[in-house]
Amino acid sequence: MSNKIPVGILAATGSVGQRFVMHLVDHPWFEITALTGSDRTVGRPYGEGVNWLLDGDPPEQVANMIVQPTEPNLEPKVLFSALPTADARELEPKFAAAGYAVLTNASPFRMDPYVPLLIPEVNPDHTGIIPYQQEAYGWPGYIVANANCSTTSIVLPLKILHEAYGVETAVVVTMQAISGAGYPGVPSLDIMDNIIPYIGGEDGKLETEPRKLCGKYADGKFELADFKVSAQANRVPVIDGHLGSVSVKLRQQASPEEVIALFQNWQPTELCQQLPTMPKPVLIYRPEPDRPQPRKDRDAGNGLAWTVGKVRECPVNTVRFLAIAHNTLRGAASGSVLNAELMHLQGFF
């Protein structure tokens, strides 16, 4: 008998759900014991019902697991949600109301005043809101959200700067991979030999989520960080890896050399360093003038590390830099798995 914590995946047959399966199938602490899917797949073995988009085949461990409907009568109490936005808005509260811990990749509750928007390296204390969420909404369970993939790509270095010097403003331009749009996602006729300077809703997420992630939590309340972000998200012909170009105005002066040293010496909290899938180092500084690059840096730390580079003085603001993270790994399913690892160490499960 396994001593692992049983977990389930909501919408396990979609592209994000498949990523959850891959990250959880050999996890040292968690064991998949339930998978849900659309009507088309319910009642069939996962390996048959799924249209597998990742390399290779669906893993053996789940291939014969019968897909269940997405209803709050699942056996495991910890659930990873890969539900599409509209479904997440409707169903995740029902699961929380039925006593489940819902770790979601979906966006509807990210800015909810009682839902932690969590990245272990950025704001591990934000899980403190959870009892307040349960009380406010009368739920025995709760919802914890991970951040949007574009927010994720730039928020760790931003938070480190904010903590050290105070960020006043940030002008962000992202160059985002096609995999961020899911499957079938971006038509090849739109993106080949082209850039699409528009991703629906993304600028707004980039302008608000970092303020919550870098904000303070105390006594059942989040205080948004007091900086402003201007974001322009662009879709580029790159398969994986979101690259962000950031110019920040700091409240205290800081030279590029100081910022580089800050990034090089930064470590997540001791608790974070115990998470089994946390890469070491989790923040990589590259000194070359032409890095980071999506294809060369997205897979650093098994796709879970951030890479920063081009830390330079900014003629307009204080300092500027580039950052990259793997959007479908760090920026999606794996982010929620790391959240679950943190919460397990924090005693939630």
Q: Which residues are catalytic?
A: 149, 242
Q: Which stretch in 68-76, 141-149, 153-161, 287-295 sits in contact with its own copies by CB under 8 A?
A: 287-295
Q: Which is nearer to its own copies, 193 or 219 (CB)?
A: 193
Q: Which stretch in 60-68, 120-128, 176-184, 256-264 sits in contact with its own copies by CB under 8 A?
A: 176-184
Question: Counting contacts by CB under 8 A, is residue 60 touching its own copies?
Answer: no
Q: Which is nearer to its own copies, 140 or 287 (CB)?
A: 287
CB 162 within 8 A of CB 254: no
Partners of 221 in the beta sheet? Answer: 218
Neighbours of 253 (CB within 10 A): 9
Closest approach, Cβ 232 to its own copies, in A, equals 5
Q: Which stretch in 22-30, 91-99, 126-134, 182-190 sits in contact with its own copies by CB under 8 A?
A: 182-190
Q: Which of 175, 272, 311, 332 binds its own copies (CB under 8 A)?
A: 175
Question: Counting contacts by CB under 8 A, is residue 234 touching its own copies?
Answer: yes
CB 174 within 8 A of CB 150: yes
Binding residues for its own copies, total number by CB under 8 A: 56
Closest approach, Cβ 175 to its own copies, in A, equals 5
**Sheet with 5-10, side-by-side order of all strands:** 30-35, 5-10, 78-81, 101-104, 142-145
Closest approach, Cβ 254 to its own copies, in A, equals 16
Q: Which of 38, 61, 277, 317 binds its own copies (CB under 8 A)?
A: 317
Let me know if 169 is exposed, middle or buried by CB neighbors in 10 A (0-12, 13-18, 19+): middle
Closest approach, Cβ 153 to its own copies, in A, equals 13
Q: Which stretch in 115-123, 153-161, 214-222, 230-238 sits in contact with its own copies by CB under 8 A?
A: 230-238
Q: What is the CA radius of gyration of the chain?
A: 20
Q: Angle formed by the axes of helices 85-97 and 130-137, to 10°?
A: 90
Q: Which is nearer to its own copies, 131 or 187 (CB)?
A: 187
Question: Counting contacts by CB under 8 A, is residue 210 touching its own copies?
Answer: no
Closest approach, Cβ 231 to its own copies, in A, equals 8
Q: CB under 8 Å to 40, separation ≥6 — which residues?
A: 49
Torsion of CA 271, 277, 281, 283, to 10 degrees: -90
Q: CB under 8 Å to 71, separation ≥6 — which residues?
A: 36
Question: Counting contacts by CB under 8 A, is residue 192 touching its own copies?
Answer: yes
Question: Counting contacts by CB under 8 A, is residue 178 touching its own copies?
Answer: yes
Phi, psi angle pair for 295, to nearest 5°: -70, -30
Q: Which is nearer to its own copies, 194 or 265 (CB)?
A: 194
- What CA–CA distance (Å, rounded) separates 23 from 182? 18
Q: Is 178 left (phi over 0), alpha (psi -120 to 50) or beta?
A: alpha
Question: Counting contacts by CB under 8 A, is residue 218 touching its own copies?
Answer: no
- What CA–CA distance (Å, rounded) separates 212 from 222? 7
Residue with tokens 């794996």: 334
Binding interface with its own copies (CB under 8 A): 53, 55, 169-171, 173, 175, 178-179, 183-198, 207, 228-230, 232, 234, 236-239, 243, 245, 247, 249, 289-296, 299, 309-310, 314-317, 320, 322
